[in-house]
Amino acid sequence: VTVIWSVLWQGRMLGYKKIWDECRSKNKPIVVLEVGGIKRNETFKVGIN
């Protein structure tokens, strides 16, 4: 399983796009962690693809 920090493909997160595309093309699972969806630095979201 691959874990990436964000699917916001801007700034320092842009490098994760290559990882995302590679995993998707190989049909490998990806876990995405996002911070601050509700309260900045207090809440997290987890997405499993």
Each residue's pLDDT tens digit, 29-43: 999 888 776 777 777
* pTM over the 0.85 mark: no
Q: What is the pLDDT of residue 22?
A: 96
Q: What is the pLDDT of residue 27?
A: 95
d(CA 43, CA 49): 20
DSSP H or E run through 16: helix 15-25
d(CA 21, CA 41): 27
CA 40 from centroid of its chain's CA atoms: 17
| Of 28 and 12, the one with more pLDDT | 28
CA distances from 34 to 25, 26, 31 (A): 22, 23, 10
Is the pLDDT assigned to residue 25 strictly greater than 70? yes
